[in-house]
Amino acid sequence: MSLSAQLLNRIQNRSARVGVVGLGYVGLPLAVEFAKNGFQTVGIDLDASKIQAISRGTSYIGDVSSEDVRALTASGRLSASTNFGVVASLDTINICVPTPLRKTKDPEMSYVVSAVQAVAAHLHPGMLIVLESTTYPGTTEEVVQPILEESGLKAGVDFFLAFSPERVDPGNPTFNTHNVPKIVGGMTPACSTLAQALYGAAIETVIPVSSPRVAEMVKLLENTFRSVNISLANEMALMCEKLGVDVWEVVNGAKSKPFGFMPFYPGPGLGGHCIPIDPFYLSWKAKQTGFEPRLIELAGQINAAMPHAVVDKIAVALNEHRKPLNGSRVLIAGVAYKRNVSDVRESPSLDIMWLLHQRGAQLAYVDPFVPCVGRHEWAGGWELQRESLDPQTFAAYDCVVILTDHSSFPWDDMVANSRLIVDARDAIKGRHPHVYRLGAPVPVRATAEALAAV
């Protein structure tokens, strides 16, 4: 029986031992799904605190319950280690490590390279390796395959190699690892068959494509699509301000059309581990071929400028209320990059906080999901602890700036007790003289008596 047939049989009867490298927002949910579906699953991560948490039966990812982790570790189907030596006893490996950008906007591939090298040290015939980390088209063939083949084993013959892009949307109550369709592109037909079988055992829908390069491109198209359309929404917001039109009303009107339109909304900038980063992977690779991706580059510039536009809006609002930005007390409402999650990676809130600090504002923040902003998480370089979420806090600041529209924020209390609000998310419904909204005209100036009563 061939190596591929042997591994396929082991996957189908759940005797294959599965490994997941990188136990973050992508890796831990994937490992849990494999374990739930009968595989003995080992998670590998260099962060000892994650290994300790899993060993205790505790989840540190919002989309994974501690009850699931506890039950799976107790049954022996899920374990975790910092030691890559366990790879020698595994049949499959999914690599789910970060792929950030350097400051020069080119790919930072050191995490992928380090993970692949660690796997290669224990590679053995008959293994399946799948890269999930978002990257540029060609990475699997140009980076991963050569490192693995330094062992003397041949991809598609002695071991099997594929790419399957992660599609995680943290905090999404409807779509998760189990029910989001999985794209799979193998180096050879046998590689694709094995990767499809592995994912098909734990995920509802698996969609094969012809190669890893196509699968890599699928992920970049998805996130570039969002980046470009969000940039259009952001430019419309700035344009509407100049024209005296409410962009939120415009979008809500346009989305009533049942065909030919998909609503995207403006905001303070892009955040998270994908959309602010992935289009630059594609742009970087395209430039190597001599192709100039003008639309992608322009979208990136528009989105990157939004934190500056928000700070300018704050300065205008304070000036309307006879206060300079320099010296004003500003309370940031929401530092996570999106609603109802604790993730602050690439959050535009952190950029806005730094810009406000540079212009002399005194800063604080409230966020029910983020108890602390570490000194290494933002350019300010010092640690911030969140303020209490109550009317007295809102009343103590010159301006409250809504940057993340968490559903648990007490909007009525915020409106009733804040002296001034700048809303970058259209979180405050109705019109109020002391609420300035991104993408909307400046509110009608209130009377001195009304301002004094706020």
Active-site residue list: 274
In one-letter notation, the amino acid at residue 81 is S
Half-sphere exposure (CA, 13 Å, Cβ side) for 129?
33
N- to C-terminal Cα separation, the chain: 79
Tally Cβ neighbours within 10 Å of residue 305.
15
Measured distance CA(23)–CA(95) in Å, rounded: 10
Tally Cβ neighbours within 10 Å of residue 118.
18
Measured distance CA(347)–CA(271) in Å, rounded: 4
Measured distance CA(274)–CA(167) in Å, rounded: 9
Helices 294-320 and 348-358, interaxial angle, to 10°?
A: 50
Question: Where do the H-state alpha helices sit in 57-141?
Answer: 66-75, 110-120, 139
Helices 212-243 and 247-254, interaxial angle, to 10°?
A: 130
Phi, psi values for residue 183, rounded to 5° = -85, 135
370 touches 342 (CB < 8 A): yes
Instruction: Identify the CA nearest to 451 among candidates 318, 324, 315, 333.
Output: 318
DSSP category for residue 86: G
Instruction: Identify the CA nearest to 143 among candidates 285, 305, 315.
Output: 285
In one-letter notation, the amino acid at residue 21 is V
364 touches 384 (CB < 8 A): yes
Measured distance CA(81)–CA(124) in Å, rounded: 19
